[in-house]
Amino acid sequence: MRKLALLLAAALMLASPARSGDNPVVVELFTSQGCSSCPPADAFLHELAKRDDVVALALHVDYWDYIGWKDIFASAENTKRQRAYARAGGRKMIYTPQMIINGREHVVGNRPRDVVDLINKHKNGAEYVDLTLERVGDTVQIRAEAKEPLRDQLVVQLIRYRPQSTVDIKRGENAGRTLSYANVVTEFSALGSWNTQGPLVMEAKAPGEAPVVVLLQHQGYGPVAAVARVK
């Protein structure tokens, strides 16, 4: 009986909705297969991806494609997002590997100690929005509530990613290397805005088995208010 009870408890835990609790920290790595400085950061993202208190995302940019190797994961949208973060932060330059921590601070992605220090700083922040996700068939149910109404709206974003990929690099700065990538973003879409005056209830399509992340972020590429994930 005790064994059956333990199994039932485990099943309930697996079936329960994902919540934003414990302040998971969003780490966005802007990287490229054509960048010789990026492999250490790509490897480090594998370690971050194992952590329950981190949502690690690899966004491959396309501005290194001209030097001999076209990154098969790169997109102009990822480059646009990185440039928008730079404008929001008053920075004139973008670079790889760059990590954006919780939409607020940037750090060189191949400096693990600096990255971990920022993660620890942000994971201790106050939680002011509660976010819950539940997967129902090919959809994800999104519910959120702010402890108090906010002055600005939050952008509701849905992200899908591929947990692990290996690529043989034939040309460019990393020619001849076989590199492994974690949590490669395959979809990053805005579902709408939420004014936080009342609870958020939303449904989004999420077919397939790829993990789903929902990110609530202040407008203008501002700070992350909440994040939750279902695998």
Digit-coded pLDDT (tens) for 64-119: 999 999 999 999 999 999 999 999 999 999 999 999 999 999 999 999 999 999 99
pLDDT at 21 over 60: no
Number of domains in the chain: 1
- What pLDDT score does 124 carry? 84
d(CA 218, CA 8): 39
- 70 lies in some domain: yes
- What pLDDT score does 6 carry? 32
Taking only the tens place, the pLDDT of each residue in 127-164 is 999 999 999 999 999 999 999 999 999 999 999 999 99
d(CA 212, CA 127): 21
DSSP character string of 95-143: -SSEEEETTTEEEETT-HHHHHHHHHHHHTSPP-EEEEEEEETTEEEEE
Mean pLDDT of 202-230: 97
- What pLDDT score does 13 carry? 34
- 126 lies in some domain: yes
- 9 lies in some domain: no
Domain span at 38: 17-230
What are the Cα distances from residue 210, in Å, to 97, 106, 159?
25, 27, 10
pTM assigned to the model: 0.90
Taking only the tens place, the pLDDT of each residue in 39-59 is 999 999 999 999 999 999 999
Q: Which of these, 229, 231, 224, 208, lies nearest to 104 by C-alpha position?
A: 224
d(CA 180, CA 21): 30
pLDDT at 16 over 80: no
- 117 lies in some domain: yes
Mean pLDDT of 195-219: 97
CATH of the domain at 173: 3.40.30.10
Q: Please tell me the chain's helix, strand, coil percentages from 3-state DSSP, rounded to the nearest 5.
A: 25, 40, 35
- 46 lies in some domain: yes
CB under 8 Å to 115, separation ≥6 — which residues?
A: 27, 44, 48, 99, 101, 107, 109
Residue indicated by tokens 């949590």: 183
- 12 lies in some domain: no
d(CA 110, CA 54): 17
Q: What is the dihedral of CA 60, 64, 69, 73, to 10 degrees?
A: 10
Give the whole-number percent of the chain exceeding pLDDT 90. Answer: 88
Q: Which of these, 100, 50, 72, lies nearest to 184 by C-alpha position?
A: 72
- 5 lies in some domain: no
Mean pLDDT is lowest, of 8-17, 39-48, 65-74, 188-197, for 8-17
Residue indicated by tokens 């991806």: 49
- 28 lies in some domain: yes
